[in-house]
């Protein structure tokens, strides 16, 4: 994606030029649908709807957008709108069919490497998140948000490169990019990814002492 083209696209939209709509769709529709489907495991129909809402929000709010730091500002803004739409979508799913069903557990990789206790912790956090979403009085989503604070806490305890690796790989940032950010070779990052995940879940376990009891049992893959 050419960053310079973004300035022209923004000018077109701000000036009410209809060509800007086609350019926006060509730049983002396939790309964001791909992200929604591949990274967030949203069904294709929902993904198209979500991307449509995202791009509508871009057009409706284009007059509030300004380039402040550089050519990449517009792309970052579009992605932040996409993230907000995706978050609202996930929150809605959490109140209905549940987050794990939404992310389609069968699509997730086998979990032999995690113990039953560790899987219990994951499910407990997701359940708390779902419950908080179902609280009708929590209109601003603060309670929902707080249920995930523990994840940020545990990430902060990891080494910087471990933190970058986990955060970036969860969103499919290529290993090559992470290697540049961390200064570690790609091969090492690939080997260490599973170990760092294991370290993360073990540290997370410290926050849930009440769930201890069957650490030795290993879950079966789905």
Partner 1 sequence: MKQKRHDHIDLLLRLAWLEGWVNTHGAYEKAVAKREPGTGVNEAARSRLIGKLESALAAVKPEPPLTVGAMLRDTRVTRMLRPQEIFSRIGVTQNIYRMMEQDAISPLKIPVEVWNRLVTLLDLSLGELEGMLRRTHQLVLFRPALRGVLARYKPAGRKGLKAATLETAFKEMYAKAELDIPESDRHRLEELVTALRKQ
User: What is the DSSP secondary structure assignment for residue 109, as one 8-state letter?
Assistant: P
Minimum Å distance from CB 181 to partner 1? 6
Residues 31-60 touching partner 1, rule: CB under 8 A, are 31-35, 37-41, 44, 48, 52, 55-56, 59-60
Interatomic CA distance for residues 59 and 24, integer angstroms: 9
Q: Does residue 174 belong to the site contacting partner 1 (CB under 8 A)?
A: yes
Q: How far is the CB of 97 from partner 1 (least distance, A)?
A: 15
CA atoms of 39 and 124, how far apart (whole Å)? 23
Q: Which two tokens stand for residue 179?
A: 């290697």
Q: In the structure encoding, which two tokens stand for residue 210, read together?
A: 């009440």
Q: By CB under 8 A, is residue 191 in contact with partner 1?
A: no
Q: How far is the CB of 29 from partner 1 (least distance, A)?
A: 6
**Residue 173 in the binding site for partner 1 (CB under 8 A):** yes
| Closer residue to partner 1 in complex, CB, 24/189 | 24
Both tokens assigned to 84: 């907000």
Location of structure tokens 């929000």: 57
18 vs 136 by CB, closer to partner 1: 18
The tokens describing 16, both together, are: 């009410």
Contact pick of 42, 86, 179, 205 for partner 1 (by CB under 8 A): 86
Chain residues 56-75 in contact with partner 1, contact rule CB under 8 A: 56, 59-60, 62-63, 66-67, 72, 75
Query: What are the phi and psi torsion angles at 115 (to 5°)?
Result: -80, 170
How many CB atoms lie under 10 A from the CB of residue 97? Answer: 11
Cβ-contact 182, 165 below 8 angstroms = yes
Per CB under 8 A, which of residues 90..149 are in contact with partner 1?
A: 90, 99-100, 103, 107-111, 114, 119, 122, 125-126, 129, 142, 144-146, 148-149
């Amino acid at each position: 994606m050419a960053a310079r083209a973004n300035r022209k696209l923004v000018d077109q939209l701000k000036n009410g030029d209809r060509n800007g709509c086609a350019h926006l769709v060509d730049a983002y529709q396939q790309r964001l649908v791909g992200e929604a489907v591949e990274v967030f495991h949203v069904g294709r129909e929902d993904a198209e709807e979500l991307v449509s809402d995202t791009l509508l929000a871009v057009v409706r709010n284009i007059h509030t957008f300004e380039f402040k730091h550089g050519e990449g500002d517009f792309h970052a803004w579009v992605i932040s709108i996409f993230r907000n739409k995706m978050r609202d979508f996930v929150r809605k799913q959490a109140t209905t069919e549940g987050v794990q069903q939404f992310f389609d557990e069968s699509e997730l990789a086998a979990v032999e490497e995690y113990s039953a206790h560790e899987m219990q912790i994951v499910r407990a956090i997701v359940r708390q998140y779902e419950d908080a979403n179902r609280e009708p009085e929590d209109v601003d989503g603060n309670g929902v948000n707080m249920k995930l604070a523990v994840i940020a806490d545990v990430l902060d305890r990891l080494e910087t490169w471990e933190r970058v690796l986990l955060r970036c790989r969860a969103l499919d940032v290529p290993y090559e990019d992470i290697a540049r950010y961390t200064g570690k070779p790609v091969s090492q990052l690939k080997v260490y990814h599973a170990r760092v995940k294991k370290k993360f879940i073990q540290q997370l376990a410290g926050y849930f002492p009440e769930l201890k009891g069957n650490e030795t049992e290993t879950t079966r893959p789905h």
